[in-house]
Amino acid sequence: MSMAVSGPSGHPPLPGAGTPTVHELERLLRDNTVALSRVDEVWPSLYIGDMTAAHDRYQLWKLGITHVLNAAHKQLASSGCQDFYGAAMDYRGIAARDLPHFDISAYFYSAAEYIHQAVDVLGGKVFVHCAFGYSRAATLTLAYLMIHQHLSLWEAVSTVAKHRRIYPNRGFLKQLRTLDTKLQQERKV
């Protein structure tokens, strides 16, 4: 999937320009005009959605979903578990809280590996959700795109934002910036 989304100045960030600021990312996300929906495919075989879509097993089955990653496991109004989805779908829950001080980065690699195994290794389709599919689910999806698809943070945000309205909280954006810097340094070595 290629990127053609421009930066805050109307141009994409320059190669080697480093990690975008939180302010630049928030501006990109605020300018998003994609219509709101319950579930969207944001990358081949990778979907982000909300709790309502997560509770509609028939719709997930029609989409061909084989794996469900719940970023709001055991949180308010989140009743997902393996028993709910049965043998047709594999379930993984992460009890993340949508608070700027919550350390969601502790789940970046395990969530990315779960998505990678499901999509790239098993040829499945993954549905990542939280309460609204706006912050926690988006953050874990962005981490996957950065870790396994080798997109920069700007590319990952731009790619997902072309398909779904997202808005990770400020603390999550800071944690994604830290991941972006780390991955850029590792790839230079």
- On the question of pLDDT at 169 being above 80, the answer is yes
- Could you tell me the pLDDT band of residue 78, with boundaries at 50, 70 and 90? low
Closest C-alpha among 186, 182, 44, 37 to residue 115 = 44
Please report the domains of the chain, with CATH numbers, ordered by start residue.
40-188 (3.90.190.10)
pLDDT (tens digit per residue) in 18-71: 789 999 999 999 999 898 899 999 999 999 999 999 999 999 999 999 999 999
Closest C-alpha among 179, 186, 188, 170 to residue 145 = 179
Q: How many helices (H) and strands (E) does the chain have?
A: 8, 5
* DSSP classification of residue 45: T
**Residue 189: what pLDDT?**
72
Q: Half-sphere exposure of residue 23, counting CA atoms within 13 Å on the CB side?
A: 1
pLDDT (tens digit per residue) in 130-150: 999 999 999 999 999 999 999
* DSSP classification of residue 118: I
Point out the residues that are catalytic.
130
- Could you tell me the pLDDT band of residue 82, with boundaries at 50, 70 and 90? low
**Residue 7: what pLDDT?**
43
Task: State the amino acid at position 86 in one-letter form.
Answer: G
